[in-house]
């Protein structure tokens, strides 16, 4: 499958990995929008949040637990940070392997752009 993030999971494309377990991988975004910008992805290929099904229930939980651990490792937990998931082209998604953005280290505003 020609998926960029599957290639990062397979270690065919290098990435700065900050956290990994059997189910998920977290690595630094190549185009950071904040001092800390990390992507949390499942190792299983799922294109978007619109493609999950009931069998992915626990895997989605793994993503949030990993995001929490990444925030702790990066020193973001106390100050707070932002978790973002863009869904589909209209939602700003550009890589079609589901991912959570962990963004922190600066003030953020609402609503997002």
- Residues annotated catalytic, as ranges: 99
Alpha carbon separation from 88 to 26, 30, 78, 99, 104 (Å, rounded): 21, 20, 31, 12, 23
Query: In terms of Cα–Cα distance, which of 57, 64, 58, 12 is closest to 41?
Result: 64
Of 31, 55, 58, 109, the one binding ligand DGP by CB under 6 A: 31
The stretch among 40-48, 62-70, 74-82, 92-100 that binds ligand DGP (CB under 6 A) is 92-100
Give the bridge partners for 101, in sequence order: 39, 84
| Residue 30 found at the interface with ligand DGP (CB under 6 A) | yes
The stretch among 18-26, 41-49, 75-83, 85-93 that binds ligand DGP (CB under 6 A) is 85-93
| Residue 95 found at the interface with ligand DGP (CB under 6 A) | yes
Report d(CA 24, CA 112) in Å as an integer. 26
Which residues lie near ligand DGP (CB under 6 A)? 4, 13, 15, 27-31, 39, 86, 92-95
């Amino acid at each position: 499958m020609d998926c960029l993030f599957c290639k990062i999971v397979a270690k065919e494309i290098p990435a700065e990995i900050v956290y990994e377990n059997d189910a998920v991988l977290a690595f630094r975004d190549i185009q950071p929008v904040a001092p800390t910008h990390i992507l949390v992805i499942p190792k299983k290929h799922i294109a978007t949040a619109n493609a999950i099904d009931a069998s992915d229930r626990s895997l989605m939980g793994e993503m949030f637990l990993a995001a929490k651990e990444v925030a702790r490792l990066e020193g973001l937990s106390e100050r707070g940070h932002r978790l973002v998931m863009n869904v589909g082209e209209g939602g700003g998604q550009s890589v079609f392997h589901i991912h959570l953005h962990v963004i922190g280290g600066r003030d953020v505003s609402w609503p997002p752009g």
